[in-house]
Amino acid sequence: MSPAAARPFVDAAGRTVEVPDRVARVIAAGPPAAVLLYTLAPDRMAGWVRAPSPEERPYLAPATWALPATGRLTGRGGTANVEAVLALKPDLIVDVGSTGPTYASLADRVQAQTGIPYILLDGAFARTADTYRQLGALLGAAEAASLATEADAVVAEVATRIAAVPEAERPRVYYARGPRGLETGFSGSINTEILDVAGARNVATGGNGLSNVSAEQVLAWNPNVIVTLDPAFRPSAADPLWGGVAAVRAGRVYRTPTLPFAWFDAPPGVNRLIGVRWLAGLLYPALFPEPLPGIVRDFYKRFYHVDLDPAQVEALLAGAVPAR
């Protein structure tokens, strides 16, 4: 890239990367980056990390359905084929997540191997608005300012409404992953960041990151609410393993909506903005009396570029809210 055609960009890892003056085609290194890029500038996407499934497509802009899948360049078990990435002729590779030395080194290595500028952006939920502004400035995307403002507004509204709830009175929540519900994210994990933001107390303490636990451990934690990711996990009060858990006895087990991206985690990206509002309303219905369907439709139109019909909203919220 000639110096005249490039400009320096300092990414969230402190790396100075020479990027084109005009960035027209962008590839995401992993799922969080793909969500960020799709919400901000779907017209700049050169491909998806993973092709949208038939179930996901109705919740995405049709123009993006047939984009090629590149695989992931980062995270556990990278699957991207370098030749396939090069064939798409991207101007830029974007990664969103950890900015530690391991990921900075990976970015340097991929950039040296491909000759494509590779930037790292901070994936912490608290930095969501800043990340929108940073990528928006790089791409010249006018939408970045309003998306960043809306991201800040979601977090501020939730924080304001729950501020008066004493810590000891906040619901104790267990995040259940996997078909048996026995994988969870411990307190401090990027996978459970939004529990704190939504005014919950994560019962899973004393560990790091994602880990498997026993049903006996969950019973000892005895959460008031369980949030699940896998639809196959459906504990009941008659279940000898789960029937003694307070959340199960009270029928307070809720499935995270996952279309087109999971609201709670998987990936831990900007998709969690709607998850925070959903979860806060679930935990504190008296503090969040506004009907959730309207909030969901507005969010999907603004961030996901689709107008949902009532049936789509109902399908999203099936199992995610108390039965009427």
Question: Model confidence over 162-183: pLDDT tens digits?
Answer: 999 999 999 999 999 999 999 9
Pair 174, 96 in one domain: no
Residue of 9, 19, 35 lying closest to 96 (CA atoms): 35
Q: Where are the beta strands (DSSP E) in the chain?
A: 6-10, 16-20, 26-28, 92-97, 118-122, 172-176, 183-185, 201-202, 210-212, 225-228, 253-255
pLDDT at 77 over 70: no
Q: What is the pLDDT of residues 244-265, one digit of tens each?
A: 999 999 999 999 999 999 999 9
Are both 14 and 48 inside the same structural domain? yes
Q: Are residues 142 and 82 in the same domain?
A: yes
CATH code of 71's domain: 3.40.50.1980
When divided into structural domains, the chain yields a total of 2
If you ran DSSP here, which 8-state letter would residue 199 be given? T
Q: Which pair of structure tokens corresponds to residue 54?
A: 């038939």
Three-state SS at 137: helix
| For range 132-143, the mean pLDDT | 97
Q: How confident is the model at residue 80 (pLDDT cuts 50, 70, 90)?
A: confident
Average pLDDT for 194-213:
96
* % of the chain with per-residue pLDDT over 90: 91
CA nearest 98: which of 136, 78, 77, 127? 127
Tens-digit pLDDT profile for residues 266-321: 999 999 999 999 999 999 999 999 999 999 999 999 999 999 999 999 999 999 99
Shared-domain flag, residues 179 and 279: yes
Non-local (6+) Cβ contacts of 78 within 8 A are: 71, 72
Q: Is residue 234 part of a domain?
A: yes
The answer to the question of residue 159 being in a domain is no
Is residue 158 situated within a structural domain? Answer: no
Give me the percent of the chain exceeding a pLDDT of 70: 97
173 and 260 within one domain: yes
Same domain, 116 and 242: no
Q: Does one domain contain both 174 and 139?
A: no
**What pLDDT digit, counting tens, does each position of 41-51 carry?**
999 999 999 99
Neighbouring-strand partners of residue 202: 173
Token duo for residue 186: 């411990």
In one-letter notation, the amino acid at residue 236 is S
Structural domain for 52, as ranges = 3-151
Confidence of residue 3 (pLDDT cuts 50, 70, 90): very low
Give the largest CA-CA distance in the chain. Answer: 69
Q: What is the mean pLDDT of the chain?
A: 95
Asked whether the whole model's pTM tops 0.85, one would answer yes
Q: Is 158 exposed, middle or buried (0-12, 13-18, 19+ CB in 10 A)?
A: buried
Q: Please identify, among 105, 127, 151, the residue that sits at the C-terminal boundary of a domain.
A: 151
Cα distances (angstroms) measured from residue 218 to each of 179, 185, 200, 278, 283: 15, 13, 16, 23, 19
Q: 195 and 79, same structural domain? A: no
Residue 156 lies in a domain: no
